[in-house]
Amino acid sequence: MEHSPVTTNPLIIMMINMTVVFIVLIVLMYLIKLIHLVDPTKVKEEPAQAAEDEEPLVAVKSSASTSAPKPEPVDEGISPEIIAAISAAIAACGISGQVKAVHIVNHEGTAWRNSMRNAQCLMRNGRR
Amino acid sequence: MEALNAFSVSLQAVWNDSGFSAFTAGNGIMILVGLVLLYMAFVKEFEPLLLGPIAFGCILANFPNTGFFGEEMNVMKAINFGITNEIFPPLIFLGIGAMTDFSPLLARPSTLLLGAAAQVGVFVALGGAMLVGFNVHEAAAIGIIGGADGPTSIYLSTKLAPHLLGAIAVAAYSYMSLVPMIQPPIMKLMTTQAEREIVMKELRPVTKFERVVFPIVSTIFISLLLPPIAALLGCLMLGNLFRESGVTDRLSDTAQNSLINIVTIFLGTGTGMTMNAESFLRADTLLIIGLGLVAFMGGTAGGLIFGKIMCKLTGGEINPLIGSAGVSAVPMAARVSQLVGMKSKPGNYLLMHAMGPNVAGVIGTAVAAGTMLAMLK
């Protein structure tokens, strides 16, 4: 139902609205903290995530500047053939240098992370 | 002779029914405005997905005798129905929700405060609009431009000041597209080099449980508190739930691709259709565009000031640059924080940290709109 405004004083409207916005978002902030607190999967997922973050850096010293790099043994689930293919693809793009690390990317629910990763790659390559 | 007479009468009838017979200078000016907007959208690539349909809708709206808004139903009237009855903005929010990753916000909930602080621009513009003579409903609709959230601006305008919809929508989307130009000078002016160089700690991992429960809990809380925005916020969170549940990939895909693309065409064209010469060519329009800029700059400054406060309170853990992302132009405002941070210190990646206040800004703007609706409607 439509009714007339409680006040038409700009300052009062501004103060009331700003206060309400802050209160709502502060309550939301505590709700988020509460969700984190009661999260039953927290204990299981956090160590797994931490392990995942540490694990996938696979040292590779193959050269990308040569067309047939010599992949070294890799023991983290990435086969030397894949490393060789990545190095060859990079070399084919005309980028010289070494593949220092290969990182397994977890795509699940990390759109912003992927976006940032892409931005980093583009910046590193001087495209923006 | 009879044939000549019939020919003459027919020609006259064609002329009388044509748009040329009723074409006014105002229509001509508005078609030129539409062409300029088209140029900005397609050549300069300023928000082309939205500004393009808005510009073309503006051109269409200024053809006389089209009968678009007559008594008979037609496609343009149907599109206009979706605008004036607040159907399209919530559907756009459904798609935005499906595209949004709330993880940075969930990992650092305190960034919600930056999203709240950036709403200061909304209320500064509201006060300014009332001071220059707009009534309180019009001022509230103008002020929401500062939230840099197109669908919310349209939603609030149709409820509080439908006659200003065209000007408000154009101002909102224009400023959103100008974020990379408007924000950096303010960011540099309000922060020191040392503050801009702050490297923030990596965010904690967020579990699927948190990502699924958050949209449900926030919808229940905010919709109960502010029912006028239940449609907007509910659709945003439903879209997000499609994304995070992991079992509704088809719905998520539809919401973030097909649906949002279709609705964007309708929303843009319908908004442009409100820009006819009679309602747009007024001094008020220039005032609205000016006040929109004040709102936008105020929002950016508000976020930065609160970012500086949080920086002090946390002993230098927060880079104040992420405060400017509190305006809800997602993800452009966050990318601007990232770029300004990178220029100050190469290798300092702020994007993930800025996404927190950025998505908080979307919620904050919706809350601001809901508060104003609750107070004024």
* Beta strands A58-59 and A101-102, pairing class: antiparallel
Do residue A29 and residue B363 have CB atoms under 8 angstroms apart? no
Give how far the C-alpha of residue A91 lies from the chain's centroid of Cα atoms, to the nearest Å.
26
Q: What do you get for the CA distance between the two ends of chain A, in Å?
A: 53
pLDDT in tens, chain B (377 residues): 788 888 889 888 888 888 888 899 999 999 999 999 999 889 988 878 888 999 999 999 999 988 887 888 889 999 989 988 889 999 999 999 999 999 999 999 999 999 999 999 998 899 899 989 899 999 999 999 988 888 899 999 999 999 898 889 888 888 887 888 899 999 999 999 999 999 999 889 999 999 999 999 999 999 999 999 999 999 999 999 999 999 999 999 999 999 999 999 999 999 899 888 888 888 889 999 999 898 889 999 999 999 999 999 999 999 999 999 998 888 889 999 999 999 999 888 899 999 999 999 999 999 999 999 988 87
Do residue A113 and residue B352 have CB atoms under 8 angstroms apart? yes
Give how far the C-alpha of residue B10 lies from the chain's centroid of Cα atoms, to the nearest Å.
48
pLDDT of residue B274: 86
pLDDT band at A61 (very low <50, low <70, confident <90, very high): very low
| Residue in A closest to B228 by C-alpha | A1
What is the number of other CB atoms lying within 10 angstroms of the CB of residue B48?
16
What is the number of other CB atoms lying within 10 angstroms of the CB of residue B212?
17
Contacts of residue B355 in chain A, CB cutoff 8 Å?
Answer: 112
Question: Which stretch of DSSP H or E encloses residue A102?
Answer: strand A101-102
Q: Which residues of B270-285 are buried (b: 16+ CB within 10 A; e: fewer)?
A: bbbbbbbbebbbeebb
| Stretch A82-97: mean pLDDT | 75
What residues does A59 pair with on adjacent strands? A101
Query: Does residue B70 sit at the A interface (CB-CB below 8 Å)?
Result: no
Closest CA to B327 of B120, B70, B169: B120
Contacts of residue A111 in chain B, CB cutoff 8 Å?
Answer: 99, 101
Query: Does residue B337 sit at the A interface (CB-CB below 8 Å)?
Result: no
The CA distance from B13 to B30, in Å, is 26
**Residue B141 or residue A13, greater confidence:** B141
Do residue A45 and residue B207 have CB atoms under 8 angstroms apart? yes
pLDDT of residue A56: 47
Do residue B335 and residue A111 have CB atoms under 8 angstroms apart? no
pLDDT(A74) > 60: no
A13, A25, A45, B109, B237 from A36: Cα distances, Å: 35, 17, 12, 10, 18
Residue type, B44: K
The CA distance from B291 to B124, in Å, is 9
Instruction: Answer whether B303's CB lies under 8 Å from B114's CB.
Output: yes
Query: Does residue B35 sit at the A interface (CB-CB below 8 Å)?
Result: no
Angle at B301 between CA B96 and CA B373, to 5 degrees: 50
C-alpha gyration radius of chain B: 23
Instruction: Answer whether B98's CB lies under 8 Å from B263's CB.
Output: no
Residues in chain B: 377
Distance from A98 to chain B by nearest Cα, in Å?
Answer: 20
Instruction: Answer whether B370's CB lies under 8 Å from B222's CB.
Output: yes
pLDDT(A71) > 70: no
B206 Rama sector, left if φ>0, alpha if ψ -120 to 50, beta otherwise:
beta
Contacts of residue B226 in chain A, CB cutoff 8 Å?
Answer: 24
pLDDT band at A43 (very low <50, low <70, confident <90, very high): low
pLDDT of residue A22: 94
| Residue in A closest to B203 by C-alpha | A113
Do residue B368 and residue A17 have CB atoms under 8 angstroms apart? yes
Burial zone of A49 (CB within 10 Å; 0-12 exposed, 13-18 middle, 19+ buried)? middle
The CA distance from B147 to B296, in Å, is 7
Rounded to two decimals, the pTM is: 0.78
Residue A4, SS3 per DSSP: coil
pLDDT(A72) > 70: no
Q: Which two tokens stand for residue A72?
A: 């070294």
pLDDT of residue B170: 83
Please list, in sequence order, all residues whose beta carbon lies within 8 angstroms of the beta carbon of residue B138, skipping any fewer than 6 positions away.
B129, B160, B161, B164
Contacts of residue B217 in chain A, CB cutoff 8 Å?
Answer: 31, 35
Burial zone of A9 (CB within 10 Å; 0-12 exposed, 13-18 middle, 19+ buried)? middle
Share of chain A above pLDDT 90, in %: 18
pLDDT band at A51 (very low <50, low <70, confident <90, very high): low
Do residue B112 and residue A116 have CB atoms under 8 angstroms apart? no
Distance from A37 to chain B by nearest Cα, in Å?
Answer: 10
Distance from B143 to chain A by nearest Cα, in Å?
Answer: 10
Give how far the C-alpha of residue B217 lies from the chain's centroid of Cα atoms, to the nearest Å.
25
Do residue A45 and residue B208 have CB atoms under 8 angstroms apart? yes
Query: Please, what is the angle between helix B75-84 and helix B150-160, to 10°?
Result: 90
